[in-house]
Amino acid sequence: MNVADIIIAFVIAYMLGSIPASVWIGKMVHGIDVREHGSGNAGTANTIRVLGWKTGIPVLIIDLAKGWTAAMLPVFFHIAEPGSALLTNMQILTGVTAIVGHIFPVFAGFRGGKGVATVFGVLLAIQPLLTICCLGVFLTVILLTGIVSVSSMSAGIAFPVLLFLFFDTPSVIFKIFSVLVAVALLITHRKNIRRLLKGEESRLIRFGRKKEKQE
């Protein structure tokens, strides 16, 4: 391994993660800082809630791309052999660096989002099929509940469960990482959990209200 390449990869990963898509697009297109509205979170869900789907979808794509690109940097830099545990471990580390950048972005006063979309991008780069299965869990839950936080936590919990039951990886660290991701999502959504328990959590999709209006 080339130490210089590793250092460069980590710097790039953090810079990628620090790109505050929701903040920049919100200010440029709408003149609004999404962190000052809604849940105060600089993430896709709050962007959609505050600025609408047309703004939220580009933010989602950028946040996904940040995580995917960061996790692919060890591959691009040929840091380790393809398929090796070392390569997977390095992908996890650069991916986590991007997630940290998203949560604490240097380009936005270190006030970022929860990193759900960026985590998804990282996992998509390392275990694409498993991640797509978790996306299926996310979509199923959001169609049933309309609540993004519940869908995100469900997909996060499903990841280690599906990994241990149906998939395999040469990296023990990745197995540990999958559990930590699930736990981290629960921790970062603790305010959402409190609102859920009080019945105050907002819905991104409101099936019931649409039906009432039609009647």
Q: What is the mean pLDDT of residues 68-90?
A: 93
Mean pLDDT for all residues in the chain: 89
Helix (H, G, I), strand (E, B) or coil at 167: coil
Query: What's the confidence (pLDDT) of residue 210?
Result: 44
Query: What's the confidence (pLDDT) of residue 27?
Result: 94
Query: What's the confidence (pLDDT) of residue 161?
Result: 95
Per-residue model confidence as pLDDT tens digits over 155-192: 999 999 999 999 988 889 999 999 998 998 888 888 88
202 token code pair: 């907002």
Listed by start position, the domains of the chain span 3-205
2 token code pair: 């080339």
Query: What's the confidence (pLDDT) of residue 181?
Result: 87
The pTM of the full predicted model, rounded to 2 decimals, is 0.83
Q: Which residues 6+ apart lie within 8 Å of 185 measured at CB?
A: 114, 116, 119, 152, 153, 156, 157
Confidence of residue 1 (pLDDT cuts 50, 70, 90): low
